[in-house]
Amino acid sequence: MKSLRKHPLKIKLLPIGILLATILAFTGCKEETKPTPNEPVETVVHQETEAEHGKPDYFQLRPEVEEAYGYSHAVKIGNSIKVSGAVSMDDAGNPTAIGDLAQQMKNCYADLEKILAHYGCTFDDVVVENVFTTHMPMFLENAAYRTEIYKNHFPTGSWLGVKELAIPEFMIEIELEVHKAE
Does some domain include residue 88? yes
pLDDT of residue 31: 44
pLDDT of residue 181: 85
Question: Minimum mean pLDDT among 49-58, 84-93, 146-155: which range?
Answer: 49-58
Does some domain include residue 29? no
Task: Give per-residue pLDDT as tens, 5-63.
Answer: 454 544 454 444 444 444 444 444 444 444 455 554 444 443 444 434 679 999 999 99
Range of the domain at 155: 54-179
pLDDT of residue 127: 98
Does some domain include residue 4? no
C-beta separation of 84 from 177 below 8 A? no
Does some domain include residue 63? yes
Local confidence band at 135 (pLDDT 50, 70, 90 cut-offs): very high
Does some domain include residue 5? no
C-beta separation of 161 from 136 below 8 A? yes
DSSP annotation of 124 reads G
d(CA 173, CA 87): 5
Mean pLDDT of the chain: 82
How many domains is the chain built from? 1
CATH for 140: 3.30.1330.40
Q: Across residues 62-88, what is the average pLDDT? A: 96
Q: Across residues 112-127, what is the average pLDDT? A: 97
pLDDT of residue 68: 94
Does some domain include residue 77? yes
Does some domain include residue 164? yes
Does some domain include residue 149? yes
Q: Across residues 125-150, what is the average pLDDT? A: 98
Question: Minimum mean pLDDT among 37-46, 89-98, 145-154, 162-171: which range?
Answer: 37-46
pLDDT of residue 54: 78
pTM above 0.85, yes or no: no
C-beta separation of 176 from 128 below 8 A? yes
